[in-house]
């Protein structure tokens, strides 16, 4: 649930960044949204890796 909310927030932040940087690239709000988008993107990637990371147990070799 948190992952879905984070992705929605990331999408909104990226859209606002594109709009603000297109209208006025020197306006600070666009840069703030860009930083927020970057932080959310890194967090979402780390959460995805954490949720899908599995450690394989070591298999013992069979002696013949």
Question: Is 35 inside a domain boundary?
Answer: yes
Longest dimension (CA), the chain: 73
Q: Is the pTM of this model over 0.95?
A: no
Question: Is 63 inside a domain boundary?
Answer: no
For the chain, the domain total comes to 1
Question: Is 8 inside a domain boundary?
Answer: yes
Question: Is 55 inside a domain boundary?
Answer: no
Structural domain boundaries enclosing 10: 2-50
Neighbours of 17 (CB within 10 A): 20
Q: What is the pLDDT of residues 6-64, one digit of tens each?
A: 788 888 888 888 888 788 777 787 788 888 888 888 888 888 888 888 777 666 777 66
Residue 22: closest CA among 30, 14, 11: 30
Please give the Cα distance from 43 to 10 (Å, whole number).
10
Residue 17: closest CA among 35, 33, 6, 5: 33
Question: Is 61 inside a domain boundary?
Answer: no
């Amino acid at each position: 649930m948190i992952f879905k909310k984070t992705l929605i927030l990331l999408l909104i932040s990226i859209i606002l960044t594109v709009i603000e940087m297109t209208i006025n690239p020197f306006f600070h709000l666009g840069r703030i949204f860009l930083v927020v988008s970057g932080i959310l993107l890194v967090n979402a990637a780390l959460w995805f890796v954490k949720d899908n990371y599995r450690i394989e147990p070591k298999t013992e070799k069979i002696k013949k």
